[in-house]
Amino acid sequence: MRHARRRIVRRVARLAAVGGLLLGGTMVTRAVASEPPGPSTVPQTTVRAVSGTGAGLVSRLGASRTAGHWLDAEGRPVVAVTDGSTAEEVRRAGAEPEVVRHSMSELASAAAALRAAPRVPGTAWAFDYRANEVVVRGDSTVSAADWSRLTGVAEGIGDFVRMERSEGEFTTRLNGAEPIRSTAGRCSAGFNVTDGRSEFILTAGHCGPTGSVWFGDGGGGRQVGRTVAGSFPGDDFSLVEYANGKAGDGADVVAVGGGKGVRITGLGEPAVGQRVFRSGSTSGLRDGRVTALDATVNYPEGTVTGLIQTDVCAEPGDSGGPMFSEGLALGVTSGGSGDCDNGGTTFFQPLPDAMASLGVRLLVSPREGAAPGAAPSSPAATGDGGGAPAPGVAAPVTGVDGSTLLSRLTDRRNVGPGLLVVAGSVVALVATRWIRAEQDRKSYRRHYSATWG
């Protein structure tokens, strides 16, 4: 009976060790061979340092010697320069130079000439740093006569102004991470901010004028707050003060759908070519790349300048929703053309200028090892007394801290844990075989002694 129990224990141990080898091997294989995680996981990018390199060089070298910067397909910084000596400076600084014909000063002068021309609703222009051109686009609402007149203005500026027609209409995306509603329509909450005394939602300016009252549900039973400041047209931002002055728990998180969120750790400035994410209550989490900066859009309601142009899609109701990358807040959704079935162009209001104008700062999560900035507020009761998060507050972040041991071990990106499981299983398998060999040797000696004693 004792020998039978030993055989069962050894068999179970061997099976467990073999199972561990299979699990560990699967973990390592999936971590190495799998595709990058999709939008269902917390999105991350790796462009913060390199985009800062390009921006710093452009700022230091000046508008007469440079013409913008972008990230190449591998995420490396590229700076457009106008001469060979500037190219050498850029190369020594660790970036790749691209010699171009026209400086930023010339591109800016072309944009100023376009702004001075008679306004044509349905048109937009932005700097294409890679092509060293100013690109003018006209949507389907622009008449042939208006387009012809604008083309004449562009030809008078020079051959570095490119004219393009686009499908759809350039409209604000009124009606998008958590929905907020008023008599003006439905928008998305953007980022939570504070002036040191009260807390606010920073969203799009076209969502509603100062004095607009916002609610967090369709029936109007829970008042979120009131618009207290904003700018549109010209800019596209506004400030909604919470009804009780506080954002509540999770004020540093933006919702990305499925009960998940991304913690915001700071304020950033985008670079052309950078991968970015946008969240809105109509179309959810979407990603794409920055295609141009300092864009001007002639909406039917008025002209907005200084926008970020992207190929991320958006739909009505996404207005004011947050755009971010690697935990850094970049902008709020302004408008665009197209939809998320056919794609399109979407413009965003950059945050730094808006926040400076409003005198507010982000409510953010402190980085590891860093001192906290504007700390999230303590929990606050909502208007309906149900304890639900306010619209500017997203769902809690899910991830390693909130997951089970099994989900952590089976995460396809965990190469290290997979190797540990493989090593432990090998040790266990070797140990069981050694124990069995020792037991067999002892049994043989006892048998030999009994036979020849």
DSSP string, 148-163: HHHHHHHHHH-TTEEE
Q: Quick one: DSSP state of residue 84?
A: H
Q: How far apart are CA 224 and CA 245, in angstroms?
A: 10
Active-site annotation holds for 365: no
Catalytic residue among 128, 236, 318, 411: 236
Cβ–Cβ < 8 Å for 71, 50: yes
Question: Can you tell me whether residue 341 is helix, strand or coil?
Answer: coil
Catalytic residue among 188, 319, 325, 334: 319
CA angle 424, 429, 433 (to 5 degrees): 150
Q: How far apart are CA 416 and CA 186, in angstroms?
A: 46
Dihedral class, residue 232 (left if φ above 0, else alpha if ψ from -120 to 50, else beta): beta
Active-site annotation holds for 279: no
CA angle 7, 12, 14 (to 5 degrees): 95
Q: How far apart are CA 213 and CA 60, in angstroms?
A: 45
Q: How far apart are CA 375 and CA 199, in angstroms?
A: 11
And the tokens for 73?
A: 């397909």
CB-facing half-sphere around the CA of 416: CA atoms within 13 A = 1
Active-site annotation holds for 384: no
> Which residues face 199 on adjacent strands?
194
Catalytic residue among 198, 206, 279, 425: 206
258-296 burial: b if 16+ Cβ within 10 Å, else e: eebbbbbbbbbbbbbbbbbbbbbbbbbbbbbbbbbbbbb
**CB-based contacts of 211, cutoff 8 Å, min separation 6:** 226, 227
Residues with a catalytic annotation lie at: 206, 236, 319
